[in-house]
Structures are given as C-alpha cells and as structure tokens.
C-alpha cells in the first residue's frame, strides 16, 4: 500500500508551522495508523531528518495519549476509534492524507503533532473527584448503587481524556469532557455531597482555560473514541442551573483553590 | 551488601498489625517539613502521592506522559482481587494468600503476600468511596467474577476497563491534592539518576522532556513506582513508553535487583501480524471464563475452524488440566500454547496461534450475554484483526505482559538504598515467579494507599537527615553524568535507528529468555547482547538536540538501559537451575512437561548488586522461609 502524507510540522510552540509532504510507499493495510508513522519516522531518521513528533503510549485506545486530525476528522474516519486503533485498511491505496495536531486555543502546539492538554487536568483538579481520603471509608457494600446508575456512570467514566471532543468542536469547547466526569460522579451516591460544588468549579475552570462554549452542535460525540453521548452535557447544564440557583457555593472560581 | 528483609516477628496474621504499632510515627505538624518525590503516576504512584499528601507531607510527583492519567495501569482490563467473600463461596484472606503464594510457585515472601491479602479488602472499600463504577448486580450489590488461577469469584471489575477506572480514582485523588497545593506535579518529566548522599537517597535528577532542562530535586525520600521492564522484549503488551530506566539507574546506584528473570507471558494476546508491529494487544483473561481454547488434533490442518468437526479438535487445557481447564494460570496456559504450536498444530499465519472459541458460550447464553460481558473486547479484537469473533473463534498467542522481578525491597518496601522506596510492578515483592490474574492492581494500590504511607513515616522518623545543598558534589556529579550521557547519545551519529537496535535485542530476548529457556541459549544471549550494545554505541543515530522535545533521544536513553538490563535478566535466568512459574528451563521439567522446582537449592530471592562498569554483578540470596504453607508441586490438574 502507498500513501501520500501532508503532515503539520512545527519546531516549537512559538515557531511558524507548515505542511510538509511525505511519500509513504510499501505499507501494509494491517498496520495501525501510528505504525505507519513509525515507519515514516524510521525512514526520516535514516535520512538524517527529524522524525515527526506525536504523542502515543498504550496503542490500544485507552491511555488517551494519541490524537490526530486525519483529513480534518479527529481520530480519523472510523467511529468510536482512537487514532492508535485505526488501521490502514480504512484508507485507499494511493490516498492523500492530511495529518494535523488538535487545533484549539486551549491546546497550544508543543511540537509537530504534540499539543499541551494540561487544561483538561486542571478541570479535573477543580472538582472532578470525590473527596474520600485514604482509609476511614465504609464497607464497599454498605452503600448500594442501582445497576442502571452504575452502568450509566460507567458509560460516562469511559472518557479517556484525549481531547478529540475539543478538537472536533467548532467552538473548541471542552463540555463533553467536563460533563462526562460530572455525570460519572453525579450518578453515584458517593458523589452527591459535592455535586453542586463540583459542577460550579469545573465549569468555571473550563471557562478560564479558554475552551469555547457549547452550542449543541454534536461534533464532539461523533469524534469521541468512547462514543460518550452529549446527553451528559444536558445533565451538566441541569446540574449547573440547579447549583447556581440553590447551591451553597458562590459561582465562578470564588474558592481560590484552583 | 546485606539483605535485611525486616519481616516482623509473630504469627503471620498479626505481623502487619504488630508492625504498624511498632513503627515510629511522624508528628502531624512535622510531616510538612519532609519532602518526598514520587516517580510514576500509575496505580502505585498516584495512590502513594495522593495518600502521602493527605497526610501532610510535601510531595512532588513525576511522570513521562503528558498527564498523570495516562500511566500504563490504565490499560489493565480484567479486574482486581479482594478477599471479601461477598459470594459466600469459601474465600478468605487465607485463601487469597495461599492462592497467591502457590500461584507464584513459592518464590515470594509469606509475610508480604499475607499483608497483601489482608489489605485487599480495604482497597475495594476505598475505590468504591471514590466513586469507581464497579459492576453491580441488579440488587445494587457489587458483582464478582472468577479469574485465571482461582476457583472462587473474588474479582471486582468495571467492564473490561478496571485498570482505567481504578487509575482514574487514584488520579482524581491526586488532582485533588495538586489543586490544594500539596502535590507538585511534573508531567513530561523523566527521572534519569538518583542522588545518594552519605548512603541515603536524597533526591534525583530529571529531564524536562519538552525543554530538555536537566535539574536536581533534593528530598528526604524517593519513591519509585515506575512499572515493569517488559519492553526489553520490544514487543509486549506494555505501553510503548514503559521502560526500565528509573529502576535500572537506581540499580547502578546501589539498589539490589530481585529476580530479574521472572517475567510473565500472558496467554491471551492477539498474534503478531507483521514486521512493522509496534506492540501486542492483550485480550483480557476474563475471556477464558467463557471461551474454550483449542487447536486441531492433526498437525498442519489448514481447514478454517468451522470446518473442523468437534472430534478433531483438541481442547488441550481442558484435557491436560481438568480441574482448572481454560482457567489455568497464565504461565501454564502460555506454555501449553507454545507446546501445541511447536508441534505444528498452531493456527493462523505462521502457525503461531490457538483458537479461543465462544461458539458454545454463545449457544448456551445467547449473544447478548456475551456482548454484555465482553463486548468491548470483541470489538477491539475485530478492529485489530478485521475478523468477527462472534462468528469465528479468536486467534490468540502468548505475549510478554508483566514482570514479577524488580528492585529488591524489604517488608517496608524500602530498597537496599535507605530512603529509596519501590512500589507496584517496579518492586519484586509479592508475585514470586508468576502473578495471578487481577493481582497487579491489588498490589499497586496496596503499596500506594496503605503500605508506603505508614512505612515511610518510620523511615523519616528514625533517619537522621541533614540538609543537602544544591551544590553538593554528589548533586553536581549526578547532573553532570546525565548531561554527559545525553551528549554521548547525540554525538554517535551512526547509521542505525534506535528502534532497529531495540527490535534486535527484543527478538533475541524472546528467543533465548522468553517462554522457555536453556543454558545454551542463555549463554548465547549473554555473548550476543554486549555485541549489540557495542554496535549501539558506535552506530546508533539520534537526530536533533537535547534542548527540545526529542522523542528519538528519549527512546535512545531507554534502549541504552535495556541493552544492559537484558544481560542481567539472562544472567539471572542462567543461574536459576530450576523451573518455577514464568521461568521455564527446559532442562528442568517433570516427565509430563511441567515446571520442576528445586526447593533445596533455589527457595530464595536472587538479589543482584551492581559491581561497576564491565564487572560481573554480585549475587546475594535472601532465603525464603515457608512457615505457614507447605511447598508442593503446583498442580492444576
């Protein structure tokens, strides 16, 4: 198999980036997309050129490290798939493929296809947890969780934090990411005491990170490798409204702990 | 070097309680004066960093990934064991302890394993309190399943993503402490050396992977939770970034390495498909609950699986191990697969594969039930192989998955360097020569949430720790050493890529130090590895500079260490003239091809000490005393 690549190269965050064309012959349709980039990189190194930098680690769709815009689509043409799980059999022989990093103001490019997604960590740090300090917790079966709730919580908790939702969104909103964590914890009985505080803080952090607003376009759920539904965003908005009206905590990052 | 395991006295079941009482405590107000560095943010590292910070210590946590949430613990699929006995099927702390000791082929410490079984129940409580969405029954109670190597249902799980959910629980606890200012997080940062002053570990040197900046961090204690070294084989189920560098460099600074040859080959992985392959994908062992493993009876039978009638199939695990059948432990199931493939009965390209067949289970339980249980795994399989496992059986083959060996630690999880503690897969402690399914998550979290927060206090309270200045000669020396090594890698300017060396080493290790080992093969490897290493330092090419994000340089650093470490593994495998668990020496097997242990001569932990550049490492032995279990031949028949 033979592909023609146009890859975004950018030496440093402030450097000017540009597309560079690479010819990629002698590939196998059974290769994963990242294995194809490995092969291209090996050939570049052998020629004494700098390899294309891209984030990757587990290569089985769970760590969330990888993420590329492939012909303008986050994680490429296959639904419910992270870039590392995509195989060349999804492409035509001879096809031209444009590879770009995630594009969002809140995800500055570090190098080539590598971006800085630390804003997502800061959203979690703002409140995406249940404050259960180690030790001193009740027996695991002391609090029952209806199976449907546990299943729905798991659906939302499946998020791998790759940032595809942000990259796919025309507003570069992190709503699907944020709402997935809020839904996961809000569906569990253990998550109730901090529910209002959590949604207020996480949403406020999301705004501070310069992610855009959600306008219900739905591109995020199409791009999500774990097929997380935008229903969680509706849930977040309900929680947010309720917390804003009745919650005890004041709005907008007032805690000073972020 | 003296190996002091510091196992508390008294009856097995009371040791941990007694020890916790006897340990010195650090006054709550004094805790904030101590600085602890935690390297790694997987289950062990994240849970340790969060728990230590909650106690009031100043914690810094480091990971090479862009976020602590991406550590490789995230990929664990099947579940986590705990002796809750929620199923009333006869489980107990004692049984989990016994299964783990036996599963490890009697090459682990009784006291450590018992403590692990005791703590297992607290882990589940902790994770549920954090909101981990474990599988539930319709009643709302927690669900369990059985898992390889156990006859009780003690495994808790969150679909096929248990590791992910447990790690996110620990990561969220860590984030909470980061937000409160109690943990300083350093993502995209790699530890490259330790700082040892007056015989104690007082800090480390790191490289910022984005800017290339090399800095020294001074502290009162260092905790390594940097995972295993399975990537020495190049192809493994480990994440691409998983490496031996942190533990190996600690070894070079004086930490003994325990049982490096004990590696686990997991029986159910997707077979290799081509040269370009970058990693192997595990299919959760839980699949063996409902899938039946078979190969054709006749060698060279090339018919597609559905054309092979029942009578011409060999369900070899059920045949050889009737009481455990398809749930036989990993080492046994892997070796059995290799055996039938060596006989020419393997299936798929290259004949390196066996069938894992769900036909019966789908007929018995219906497709929907199977989908509920394993839907995501089936999907993953289909995505990779382009075959539908609901219609045709999966093809699987063993692959390197986990390393039981690791830095030697005492009962307090401290290495032979005072002040250097080692947790999770990075230490050697609990799994002996073979790890049972769903026990890695248990150990990582036991070490991080419940053991290190107590034992490190005892060290800090009793050690005399003088202030260390940033211009101390040891600090400067460590910084310089790292800078020099980096420079050397960048100036070789040869013609071979780092990956090509890694692949060559990996192939050699897999052939000579993989599922079956012989003295001849190991000697060949011991001769060959230094040759590959020499060529590496003469002919590797690493483009770019050190002062930038340079992934080729990162790899080169790690592969350079693997090229030395592989030799230590082979040396250990050669010296251990017995078969046990994952270590199968062809010279030592029973009449029916099972591992033959030699308890007389080898019931010990082999702890290797670095003896300097070019010198043979020194072997120290920690004898294993079995006072509570009887050493028996492991039988799963």
Residue A69's pLDDT is what?
98
Cβ-nearest to B125 among A128, A137, A191 = A137
Q: Is residue B499 part of a domain?
A: yes
Residues of B catalogued as catalytic: 330
Judge whether A191 is closer than 8 Å to chain B, CB to CB: yes
State how far residue A27 is from chain B, nearest Cα, in angstroms.
9
Cβ-nearest to B129 among A32, A50, A190 = A190
CATH code, B294: 3.90.700.10
Antiparallel, parallel or unpaired: β B313-314 and B618-623? unpaired
Tell me the HSE value of B400 on the side-chain side, using a 13 A CA sphere.
Answer: 28
Paired with A115 in beta bridges are: A109
Cross-chain residue pair A135–B497, CB shorter than 8 Å:
no
- Residues 538..557 of B with a Cβ closer than 8 Å to A: which? 541, 543-544, 548-549, 551-552
CA distance B384 to B382: 5
- Other Cβ atoms closer than 10 A to B224: 32
CA distance A104 to A175: 14
Res. A249 pLDDT band, cuts 50 70 90: low
Evaluate if residue A256 carries a pLDDT over 50. no
How large is the average pLDDT for residues B539-556? 97
> Contact, B407 vs B224, CB < 8 A?
yes
Cβ-nearest to A65 among B70, B142, B495 = B70
CA distance B79 to B84: 14
Mutation for A interface: B50, B130, B376, B449, most A CBs within 10 A: B130
State how far residue B591 is from chain A, nearest Cα, in angstroms.
40
* B481 and B395 assigned to the same domain: no
Q: Tell how far CA B632 is from the center of its chain.
A: 25
- Write the CA distances from B615 to A182, B199, B217, B568, integer angstroms: 56, 21, 30, 12
Contacts of A15 (CB under 8 A, 6+ apart): none
- Residue numbers in A near B270 (CB within 8 A): none
What are B113's two structure tokens? Answer: 């394993």
Res. A254 pLDDT band, cuts 50 70 90: very low
Judge whether A38 is closer than 8 Å to chain B, CB to CB: yes
Evaluate if residue A226 carries a pLDDT over 90. yes
Evaluate if residue A252 carries a pLDDT over 50. no
Cβ-nearest to A147 among B136, B159, B282 = B136
Paired with B293 in beta bridges are: B356
Domain that includes residue B550, residue range: 473-623
Q: What is the ipTM of this complex?
A: 0.96
Cross-chain residue pair B141–A144, CB shorter than 8 Å:
yes
Evaluate if residue B288 carries a pLDDT over 80. yes
* Residue among B357, B49, B42, B19 nearest B175 (CA): B49
- Give the SS3 label for residue A134: coil
- Other Cβ atoms closer than 10 A to B351: 19
- Residues 119..138 of B with a Cβ closer than 8 Å to A: which? 122, 124-131, 133-138
Residue A251's pLDDT is what?
47
Evaluate if residue A247 carries a pLDDT over 80. no
Q: Is residue B301 part of a domain?
A: yes
Task: Note the pLDDT tens digit of each residue in B15-61.
Answer: 999 999 999 999 999 999 999 999 999 999 999 999 999 999 999 99
- Residue numbers in B near A138 (CB within 8 A): 125, 129
- Alpha helices per DSSP H over B32-109: 43-55, 93-103
Judge whether A47 is closer than 8 Å to chain B, CB to CB: no
CA distance B222 to B214: 18
Cβ-nearest to B179 among A46, A126, A190 = A126
CA distance B393 to B493: 48
* Residue among B433, B532, B552 nearest B489 (CA): B552
Antiparallel, parallel or unpaired: β B354-357 and B257-258? unpaired
* Residue among B565, B585, B438 nearest B509 (CA): B565
- Residues 151..190 of A with a Cβ closer than 8 Å to B: which? 151, 153-154, 157-158, 160-161, 184-185, 187-188, 190
Paired with B320 in beta bridges are: none
Contacts of B409 (CB under 8 A, 6+ apart): B258, B415, B421, B422, B427, B428, B429
Residue B373's pLDDT is what?
84
Mutation for A interface: B48, B71, B73, B128, most A CBs within 10 A: B128
- Residue numbers in A near B544 (CB within 8 A): 50
Long-range pairs for B572-579: beta carbons < 8 A, 24 or more residues apart: B572/B259, B572/B260, B572/B261, B572/B405, B572/B606, B572/B608, B573/B261, B573/B513, B573/B517, B573/B522, B574/B519, B574/B522, B574/B523, B574/B526, B575/B606, B575/B619, B576/B261, B576/B602, B576/B606, B577/B601, B577/B602, B578/B602
Evaluate if residue A255 carries a pLDDT over 60. no
Cross-chain residue pair A257–B274, CB shorter than 8 Å:
no
Cross-chain residue pair B175–A56, CB shorter than 8 Å:
no
- Residue numbers in A near B142 (CB within 8 A): 140-141
Residue B329's pLDDT is what?
87
Evaluate if residue A257 carries a pLDDT over 60. no
Of B401, B431, B457, the position where a domain reaches its end is B401
Judge whether A138 is closer than 8 Å to chain B, CB to CB: yes
Poorest-pLDDT segment among A130-134, B77-81, B568-572? B77-81
* Residue among A139, A144, A136 nearest B85 (CA): A139
CA distance B274 to B287: 25
State how far residue B9 is from chain A, nearest Cα, in angstroms.
25
| Dihedral class, residue B528 (left if φ above 0, else alpha if ψ from -120 to 50, else beta) | alpha
Judge whether B88 is closer than 8 Å to chain A, CB to CB: no
Task: Note the pLDDT tens digit of each residue in B317-339.
Answer: 999 999 889 988 888 999 999 99
Cβ-nearest to B276 among A28, A128, A131 = A28
Q: Dihedral through CA B532, CA B586, CA B319, CA B236, nearest 10?
A: -20
* Residue among B201, B358, B202 nearest B286 (CA): B358
- Residue numbers in B near A61 (CB within 8 A): 380
- Give the SS3 label for residue A147: helix
> Contact, B238 vs B506, CB < 8 A?
no
CA distance B560 to B454: 36
Q: Dihedral through CA B606, CA B609, CA B610, CA B616, nearest 10?
A: -60
10 Å CB burial of residue A253 (0-12, 13-18, 19+) is: middle
How large is the average pLDDT for residues B368-383? 89
- Residue numbers in A near B69 (CB within 8 A): 64, 121, 124, 161
Mutation for A interface: B140, B186, B384, B501, most A CBs within 10 A: B140
Judge whether B72 is closer than 8 Å to chain A, CB to CB: yes
B16-44 burial: b if 16+ Cβ within 10 Å, else e: beebeeebeebeeeebeebbbbbbbbbbb
What are B514's two structure tokens? Answer: 């993989």
CA distance B521 to B506: 14
Judge whether A117 is closer than 8 Å to chain B, CB to CB: yes
CA distance B487 to B480: 10
Domain count, chain B: 2
CA distance B401 to A115: 30
Cross-chain residue pair A28–B274, CB shorter than 8 Å:
yes
* B483 and B615 assigned to the same domain: yes
Cross-chain residue pair A124–B171, CB shorter than 8 Å:
yes
Contacts of B562 (CB under 8 A, 6+ apart): B229, B231, B232, B243, B244, B502, B505
| CATH superfamily, region A118-246 | Alpha-helical ferredoxin (1.10.1060.10)
SS3 of A167-189: HHCCCCECHHHHHHHHHHHHHCH
Judge whether A143 is closer than 8 Å to chain B, CB to CB: yes
State how far residue B368 is from chain A, nearest Cα, in angstroms.
16
Contacts of B274 (CB under 8 A, 6+ apart): A28, A30, A31
CA end-to-end distance (rounded Å), chain B: 42
> What is the pLDDT of chain A when averaged over all its residues?
95
Evaluate if residue A258 carries a pLDDT over 90. no
Task: Note the pLDDT tens digit of each residue in A49-104.
Answer: 999 999 999 999 999 999 999 999 999 999 999 999 999 999 999 999 999 999 99
Antiparallel, parallel or unpaired: β B221-224 and B420-422? parallel
Domain boundaries, chain A: 3-111, 118-246
- Residue numbers in A near B133 (CB within 8 A): 145, 150-151, 153-154, 157, 184, 187-188
- Residue numbers in B near A147 (CB within 8 A): 136-138, 140
Contacts of B618 (CB under 8 A, 6+ apart): B1, B608, B609, B611
- Residue numbers in B near A135 (CB within 8 A): 122, 126, 449-450
How large is the average pLDDT for residues A215-221? 97
Beta strand residue intervals within B291-429, DSSP E: 292-296, 313-314, 354-357, 394-403, 406-407, 420-422
Q: State what percent of residues in chain B have pLDDT above 90.
A: 92
- Other Cβ atoms closer than 10 A to B379: 17
Q: Is residue B593 part of a domain?
A: yes
Cross-chain residue pair B543–A81, CB shorter than 8 Å:
no
Cβ-nearest to B551 among A51, A61, A124 = A51
* Residue among B73, B153, B84 nearest B124 (CA): B84
Res. B149 pLDDT band, cuts 50 70 90: low
Evaluate if residue B237 carries a pLDDT over 80. yes
Give the DSSP letter of residue A191: G
CA angle (A106, A110, A113) in 5-degree steps: 95
Cross-chain residue pair A129–B173, CB shorter than 8 Å:
yes
- Write the CA distances from B298 to A79, B207, B302, B333, integer angstroms: 41, 56, 10, 20
CATH code, B560: 1.20.58.100
| CATH superfamily, region A3-111 | Beta-grasp domain (3.10.20.30)
Evaluate if residue B637 carries a pLDDT over 50. yes
- Alpha helices per DSSP H over B181-315: 245-252
Q: Tell how far CA B147 is from the center of its chain.
A: 18
| Dihedral class, residue B112 (left if φ above 0, else alpha if ψ from -120 to 50, else beta) | alpha
Cross-chain residue pair A137–B129, CB shorter than 8 Å:
yes
- More confident call, A116 vs B145: A116
CA end-to-end distance (rounded Å), chain A: 50
- Residues 195..254 of A with a Cβ closer than 8 Å to B: which? none
What are B423's two structure tokens? Answer: 């947790």
Residue A248's pLDDT is what?
64
- Give the SS3 label for residue B435: coil
CA distance B421 to B248: 14
- Residue numbers in A near B210 (CB within 8 A): 110
* Residue among B259, B280, B250 nearest B561 (CA): B250
Cross-chain residue pair A124–B141, CB shorter than 8 Å:
no
């Amino acid at each position: 198999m033979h592909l023609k690549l146009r890859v975004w190269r950018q030496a440093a965050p402030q450097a000017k980036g540009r597309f560079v064309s690479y010819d990629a012959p002698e590939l196998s349709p059974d290769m994963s997309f990242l294995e194809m980039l490995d092969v291209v990189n090996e050939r570049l190194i052998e020629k004494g050129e700098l390899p294309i930098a891209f984030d990757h680690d587990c290569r089985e769709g769970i760590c969330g490290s990888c993420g590329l815009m492939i012909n303008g689509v986050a994680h490429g043409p296959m639904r419910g798939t992270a870039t590392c799980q995509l195989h060349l059999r999804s492409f035509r022989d001879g096809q031209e493929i444009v590879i770009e990093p995630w594009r969002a103001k809140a995800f500055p490019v570090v190098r080539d296809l590598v971006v800085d997604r630390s804003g997502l960590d800061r959203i979690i740090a703002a409140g995406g947890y249940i404050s259960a300090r180690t030790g001193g917790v009740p027996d695991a079966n002391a609090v029952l969780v209806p199976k449907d709730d546990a299943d729905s919580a798991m659906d939302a908790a499946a998020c791998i934090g790759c940032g595809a939702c942000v990259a796919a969104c025309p507003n570069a909103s992190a709503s699907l990411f944020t709402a997935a964590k809020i839904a996961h914890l809000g569906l569990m009985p253990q998550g109730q005491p901090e529910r209002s505080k959590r949604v207020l803080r996480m949403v406020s952090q999301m705004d501070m990170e310069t992610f855009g607003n959600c306008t219900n376009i739905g591109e995020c759920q199409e791009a999500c490798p774990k097929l997380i539904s935008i229903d969680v965003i509706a849930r977040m908005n309900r929680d947010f409204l309720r917390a804003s009206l009745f919650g005890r905590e004041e709005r907008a990052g007032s805690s000073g702990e972020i | 070097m003296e190996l002091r395991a510091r196992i508390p006295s008294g009856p097995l079941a009371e040791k941990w309680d007694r020890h916790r009482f006897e340990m010195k405590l650090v006054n709550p107000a004094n805790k904030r004066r101590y600085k602890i560095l935690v390297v790694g943010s997987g289950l062990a590292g994240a849970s340790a960093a969060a728990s230590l910070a909650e106690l009031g210590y100043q914690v810094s946590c480091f990971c090479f990934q862009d976020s602590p949430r991406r550590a490789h613990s995230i990929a664990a699929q099947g579940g986590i064991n705990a002796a809750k006995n929620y199923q009333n099927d006869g489980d107990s702390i004692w049984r989990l302890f016994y299964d783990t000791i036996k599963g490890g082929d009697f090459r682990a410490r009784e006291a450590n394993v018992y403590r692990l079984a005791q703590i297992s129940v607290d882990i589940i409580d902790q994770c549920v309190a954090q909101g981990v969405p474990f599988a539930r029954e319709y009643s709302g109670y927690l669900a369990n399943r059985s898992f390889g190597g156990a006859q009780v249902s003690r495994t808790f799980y969150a679909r096929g993503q248990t590791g992910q959910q447990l790690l996110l629980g620990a990561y969220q606890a860590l984030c909470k402490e980061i937000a409160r200012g109690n943990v300083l997080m350093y993502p995209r940062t790699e530890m490259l050396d330790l700082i040892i002053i007056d015989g104690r570990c007082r800090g480390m040197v790191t490289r910022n992977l984005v800017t290339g900046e090399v800095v020294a961090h001074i502290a009162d204690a260092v905790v390594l939770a940097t995972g295993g070294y399975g990537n020495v084989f190049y192809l493994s189920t480990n994440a691409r970034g998983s490496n031996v560098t942190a533990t190996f460099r600690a070894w070079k600074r004086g930490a003994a390495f325990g049982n490096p040859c004990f590696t686990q080959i997991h029986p159910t992985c997707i077979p290799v498909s081509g040269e370009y392959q970058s990693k192997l994908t595990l299919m959760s062992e839980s699949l063996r609950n409902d899938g039946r493993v078979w190969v054709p009876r006749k060698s060279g039978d090339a018919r597609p699986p559905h054309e092979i009638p029942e009578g011409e199939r060999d369900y070899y695990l059920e045949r050889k191990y009737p009481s455990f059948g398809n749930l036989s432990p990993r080492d046994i199931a892997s070796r059995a697969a290799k055996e039938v493939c060596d006989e020419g009965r393997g299936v798929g390209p290259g004949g390196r594969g066996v069938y894992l067949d769900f036909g019966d289970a789908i007929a018995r339980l219906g497709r929907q039930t199977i989908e509920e249980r394993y839907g995501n795994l089936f999907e993953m399989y289909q995505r990779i192989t382009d075959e539908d496992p609901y219609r045709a059986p999966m093809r699987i083959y063993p692959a390197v998955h986990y390393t039981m060996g690791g830095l030697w630690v005492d009962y307090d999880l401290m290495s032979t360097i005072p002040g250097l503690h080692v947790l999770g897969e990075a230490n050697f402690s609990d799994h002996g020569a073979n790890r049972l399914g769903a026990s890695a998550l248990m150990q990582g979290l036991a070490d991080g949430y419940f053991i290190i927060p107590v034992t490190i206090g005892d060290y800090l309270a009793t050690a005399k720790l003088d202030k260390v200045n940033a211009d101390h000669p040891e600090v400067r020396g460590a910084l310089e050493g790292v800078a020099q090594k980096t420079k050397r890698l960048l100036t070789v300017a040869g013609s071979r890529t780092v990956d090509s060396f890694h692949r060559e080493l990996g192939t050699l290790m897999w052939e000579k130090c993989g599922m079956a080992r012989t003295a001849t093969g190991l000697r060949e490897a011991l001769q060959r590895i230094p040759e590959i290493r020499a060529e590496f330092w003469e002919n590797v090419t690493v483009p770019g500079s050190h002062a930038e994000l340079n992934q080729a340089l990162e790899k080169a650093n790690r592969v350079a260490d693997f090229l030395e470490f592989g030799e230590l593994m082979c040396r250990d495998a050669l010296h251990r003239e017995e078969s046990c668990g994952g270590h199968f020496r062809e010279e030592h097997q029973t009449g029916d091809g099972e591992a033959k242990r030699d308890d007389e001569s080898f019931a010990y932990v082999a702890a290797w000490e670095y003896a300097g550049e070019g010198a043979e490492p020194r072997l120290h032995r920690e004898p294993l005393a079995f006072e509570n279990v009887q050493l028996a031949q492991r039988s799963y028949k």
